Structure 1
Amino acid sequence: MTGGARVGDDRVTIPFDGRRIDIEIAWVRPEHAHRTDRPLVVFLHEGLGSVSMWRDYPRMLCEAGDLRGLVLSRYGYGRSTPRPHDEKWGADFMHRQAREALPALFDALEIGPGRRHGKPWLLGHSDGGSIALIHAASFPDAVAGLIVLAPHIVVEDISVRSIAETRRAYLETDLRTRLARYHDDVDSAFWGWNDIWLDPAFRQWDLRPLLPAIACPVLAVQGEDDAYGTMAQIEGIHRYAPRASLLKLARCGHSPHRDQPARLTEAAVDFITTHT
């Protein structure tokens, strides 16, 4: 444990941006946490996600593959430290999560090469998938593999349109009330994500130059009915990341783990087993 980090039963205090923040965590199948011979999967949530919004999927996957799992809520989400309402995130917000916050958390929990829990697998959804890609490109020797669900590598028009519609729903429907069940400060979670995605400056955001640096195997998954991105996202990963494989799912929207959990689990377990 380094950098003044502190670990509790469901919180880890880490240094970030010149201060100390709390990160909500939950171990999946904690009774098996000591089995360091089994792969560890770290679940990275979507732009409005949290520990609780994964529901039962982490356990479903870990039981199917006899895996260990760790779920976390990023800064600003779930039961983690909320983002102050006057703090505006920049276009590098996912890079900062991948290069600063996630390494600090892994240091605190002894995750990584030569440490207690070894190299992790990262399973990221949407923004969490993008963060997984950035982390693996930035620390190519530190990750065993990636499974990215509906990740973003560029900003598409379809993404901006759907995120603008989500903003309308947050202001005019019961979406805010429904999301409030999953976040200590729902406005912190929503506006941190929504404001930057709809900022015109964010249209230049592009992960493609980073992808060739990813050394680990990557399974990139996209639903054919995704309202937040097209197949160009995972096809770009396949083009630029050296060891990428694709899974395209019919009858599936932006959340493969909700829309096609059995098919995704089968593919993910097979991919992890093959590359372990």
Structure 2
Amino acid sequence: MQTLTLETPAGGLHVARWRPQAPGTRSPRPQASPIVLLHDSLGCIALWRDFPALLAEATGREVIAYDRLGYGRSAPFPGQQPSSFIADEGEAFHALREHFGLTCFVLLGHSVGGCMAAEIAGQHADGCEALVTVATQAFTEPRTLAGIREAEQAFQPPAAMARLAKYHGDKADWVLRSWVDTWHSEAFDGWTLDDALTRVRCPTLAIHGEHDEYGSLAQPRRIASRTPGPAEPRLLPCGHVPHRECPEVLADIVAEFLAVRD
């Protein structure tokens, strides 16, 4: 893994890159477009754990991930997170694309990162070859809001917040409040991803855990029905975090999806 800081007008973004290296795995494909990962509401590069390396080996492609502004080792977010934060992430991605000269790329987003990936796929339709959403919300439903409230309560003990601070430092409270308060705000009442999904032009695979505590199966089915690609989502026997609960299976499914397009 290689890391760097990408300077943007809004602040520095912590970026990491993985290339396939292990012997006996799929041969590296230098001409293949890289996969860019977008993390969830409490996530960062470190919380992808071993998945980026597994994905690089399974697909033979370079994998790039970055901490969003306000998360992980990136600079603090300047103020309160706006309700437009999902669509706004296209600005950070534009800086990443320019820096690495990404003519073509694949997007993979987890949870709200999948929402951002769908937005970016539409904003950068000229270069997005494929989109993979994992445990992604397509609309706000009671299960989503209830799950967030339960998680908020779980972070009440100081030890729980200390674990979050391990990854986000003194930004941990901002990270938690941005998640909880934004999704329960009036601006998000009735929110859907529908407009972004209609702009997606590339093949799309919606992946979802059968036991996801933040979204019913109606979520991936809505994504699959409104984008090019398989009409039905790919379901996994896990909860909301497949890259931690069944990372090898997830990496293989993504590799299979992309191999058809190689």
Q: State TM-score, norm by structure 1.
A: 0.86
CA distances 1:76-121 after superposition (whole Å, capped 9, x unpaired): 100001124xx22222111101x2121122112212x2xxxxx111
- Please tell me the residue identity of whatever aligns with 2:159: D
1:13 alignment partner in structure 2 = 7
- Counterpart in the other structure of 2:100: 109
Structure 1 residues 64 and 242, CA gap change in structure 2 (3 angstroms) = closer
In the TM superposition, what are the counterparts of 1:47-86 in structure 2 within 5 Å? 47-84=41-78
- What amino acid sits opposite 1:92 in the alignment? S
Amino acid at match of 2:235: K
Q: Which residue in 1 is equivalent to 2:254?
A: 268
Aligned partners of 2:209 and 2:239 also within 8 Å: yes
Q: 1:30/1:23 Cα in 2 relative to 1: closer, same or farther (>3 Å)?
A: farther
Residue 257 (structure 1) aligns with = 243
For the structure 1 residues 12 and 35, does the alpha-carbon distance in structure 2 shift closer, same or farther, using more than 3 Å as the test? farther
Structure 1: segments with no counterpart, 5+ residues: 1-7, 114-118
User: SS state of the match for residue 180, structure 1?
Assistant: helix
How far apart, CA to CA, are the structure 1 residues paired with 2:123 and 2:6? 23
Q: What whole-Å deviation, never above 9, does each CA across 1:111-150 have from its counterpart, x for those lacking one? A: 2x2xxxxx11111100111100111122222201111101
**Seq. identity, %:** 33
Counterpart check, 1:140 vs 2:99: no
Conservation of the 8 A alpha-carbon contact between 1:147 and 1:221 = yes
Pick from 20, 25, 44: which aligns with 2:15? 25
Q: TM-score, normalised by structure 2?
A: 0.90
Residues 132 and 148 of structure 1 are in contact (CA less than 8 Å); yes or no, is this contact kept in structure 2? Answer: yes
One-letter code of the match for 1:151? Answer: T
* 1:204 match: secondary structure: coil
- Give per-residue Cα distances to partners, 1:140-175, cap 9 Å, x unaligned: 222011111011111111010011111112223532
Q: CA RMSD in A?
A: 2.0
1:1-276 superposed matches below 5 A: 10-15=4-9, 20-29=10-19, 36-84=30-78, 87-97=79-89, 99-111=90-102, 113=103, 119-172=104-157, 174-184=159-169, 185-245=171-231, 246-250=233-237, 252-276=238-262
Residue 84 of structure 2 aligns with an amino acid whose one-letter code is: D
> 1:46-102 deviations in whole A, cap 9, x for unaligned?
110001111111001111221111111001100001124xx22222111101x2121
C-alpha distance in 2 between matches for 1:9 and 1:60? 17
| Matched letter for residue 222 of structure 1 | H
CA distance in 1, matches of 2:106, 2:87: 18
For the residue of structure 2 that corresponds to 1:211, the secondary structure is helix
| 1:259 Cα deviation after fit | 1.5
